[in-house]
Amino acid sequence: MQSQMVFNDHEHEKAWLTVTTRNYCKDILKNWWRIRRVALDTLPEVPSWNGHESSGKVLARLLSLPEKYKTVLYLYYFEEYSVKEISEMIGHKESTIQTQLSRGRKLLKIDLGGNYLE
């Protein structure tokens, strides 16, 4: 939009804008960040992870994890902060936060018996 492109006529300008907009939207849709994220609303609520365990027990097990995993999991699932917000609070890169979330989920899944988080 900011280029000094000269258009032949109004139709040429319209076609250029359409193609540019379409390509930009495709770039956003294929972005790695969008592909790797899981929407919070697709995850089960904490009390429904297991009918036999209360959310307090799940939280207690989460709090028994190593500090770096415990903090990001708590902020992400219980306080509902985004990965970007957590990275700004903690001062780590977003990719580091994503890795800590993934590893923390695996540890918590093992600790809870394997049927809670994917």
Res. 39: pLDDT tops 80: no
Give the residue, 96 or 28, on which the prediction is more confident: 96
Tell me the helices (H) and strands (E) count for the chain, helix number first. Answer: 6, 0
Signed CA dihedral, 94, 98, 100, 101: sign only: positive
- How big, in percent rounded to 5, are the helix, strand and coil portions of the chain? 65, 0, 35
Which of 67, 101, 66 has the alpha carbon at shortest distance from 87? 101
Res. 65: pLDDT tops 60: yes
Res. 44: pLDDT tops 60: no
Give the residue, 87 or 110, on which the prediction is more confident: 87
Q: What's the rounded Cα separation, in Å, for the pair 115 and 86?
A: 26
The reply to whether the predicted model has a pTM over 0.85 is no
What's the CATH fold of domain 38-112?
Answer: Arc Repressor Mutant, subunit A (1.10.10)
Domain range summary for the chain, segments of one domain joined by +: 1-30, 38-112
